[in-house]
Amino acid sequence: MTRKKKEAQLSALMEQIREHFNGVILVAEQGKPLLYEAVGFAELSQGQEPARTLTTESMFELASVSKPITALGIIRLHQAGLLELDDTVSRWLPELPYPGITIRHLLTHTSGLPDYIALFSEKWNPAQIAVNADVLNMLAAHRPAPLFAPQDSWMYSNTGYIMLAILIERISGQSYADFLSEQIFQPLGMARTRIYNRRLDPDAVPSNYAWGYVYRLEHGGYVLPDAVPAMNYVHYLDGLQGDGMVNSTAMDLLRLDRALYDDKFIQPQLREAMFTPVTLHNGETFDYGFGWLIEQHPQLGRAVSHSGGWPGYATFLKRYIERDLTIILLQNGERDYNYTQQLLRSVEQALADEPMEVPQAAAPRTLFPLTAEDYEPFLGEYLFQDEQGQSLSAEVFIEHSQLCMRLGNGMTFVLLPISPTRFYEQQIATELEFGEIEASKSSRLIWYEHDSDSVAQRVR
């Protein structure tokens, strides 16, 4: 397919999604944009100030798209001869109470470190903003059990990437922000990229900044996550770096993409290691390298990617390294996760010269009037269990007259009624339904996720 045909198809796609999309999208072939557009608001109106629109140079918080950048910082230290990937973390972090973990384990999510978010939701003073040292100190003080022995299994670990940021600082003698600026951002001309914790440093808002908004039915539209009590963690976890908090633009991420093809910037054998699936002790592999998910696309070949999600932001970077194609998606007003996934598939279809399915936005949801008394049959504890025998508890309770669900990993969701027994969860845009109500108690909870359904049984 010719370049002009790809440009035309992508342009046609943008025209059809414009009213449902808020963000910046950049699609490139061999580093040259096929599509590069900004749509929607960067900041909603404040008092007398009018709303500010996004531009292609708007800066977004990347959320977990920060992880490939943190991993690249470690690789730069390795290229400088300052560490080996199989060095034990305890060499630099003797206070970390989990022996046998290597830098490679942290990079590949095979360390088994417990989830710091769950620990902080239980033990941290939410009036204080935590920084990276607090994560290390909390692990040392409370010593939550590891999830598994190093390299026995794979589980996505924000904790591991916080530890990598701390390692960067201890090994380099610089702050995480200064090291990445010196080693990555400045050499690659990423002038609009920085580490930025906006609640920790509220007076330093970068120019042309895209404020992240969440869509909330109960608020009648978009609001800052700071206005949603169930999202108070965006405040007290704001000082953390490594698993998130890189802020950048679409074009700066394209500059990073180009550098990852450059043998002078990253040695070929290290690049290959970055994009090689990790092998567990039992011989199984998992399609994750050093900060990158790995896949084989049927038409577009080998691809590496990472997505990011944090209240107010949905981000995505995907590189089809055999075809030299790049998709960069930065959103600061996502309403529907499933719609974003459809959009990405549509872009891939256009690039692969396949029939393109236009994303379909979900029908608007409206709240059903229920009272706290109506919630009584649903209250209690449920247990989800997957086919591998992994279980996850879910406590359903009332807080501030709203029905809430707290998972065993510490995540808490507000459940908004859309029928007498069915509820909408806005953070990940899924629905849940309580079933088999007998003697004024439900015995089942069904979670309708995007690709599958999960059923939990009442245990208490």
Is the CB of residue 416 less than 8 Å from the CB of residue 423? Answer: yes
Q: How many CB atoms lie within 10 A of CB 308?
A: 23
The tokens of 28 are what?
């490139």
| Residues 6+ away with beta carbon under 8 Å from 71 | 107, 164, 274, 290, 291, 292
Catalytic residue among 11, 45, 64, 172: 64
| Residues 6+ away with beta carbon under 8 Å from 255 | 188, 189, 190
CA angle, 20 as apex, 19 and 25 as ends, to 5°? 95
Is position 64 annotated as part of the catalytic site? Answer: yes
CA atoms within 13 A on the CB side of 13: 29
CA atoms within 13 A on the CB side of 197: 19
**What is the rounded (10 degree) CA torsion for 119, 243, 195, 311?**
-70
C-alpha pair distances (Å), 155 with each of 104, 446, 452: 14, 24, 20
The tokens of 66 are what?
């920060």
N-term to C-term CA, the chain: 59
The tokens of 352 are what?
């692969």
State how far the Cα of 97 lies from the Cα of 16, in Å rounded to an integer.
53
C-alpha pair distances (Å), 14 with each of 11, 22, 334, 354: 5, 11, 16, 17
Q: Where are the beta strands (DSSP E) in 56-172?
A: 60-61
The tokens of 260 are what?
């990852």
Give the three-state DSSP class for 184: helix
Give the three-state DSSP class for 120: helix
Closest C-alpha among 282, 291, 336, 284 to residue 309: 336
State how far the Cα of 180 lies from the Cα of 14, in Å rounded to an integer.
34
Q: Classify residue 91 by its DSSP letter.
A: G
Query: Token match 């290597």: residue?
Result: 102
Give catalytic residue positions: 64
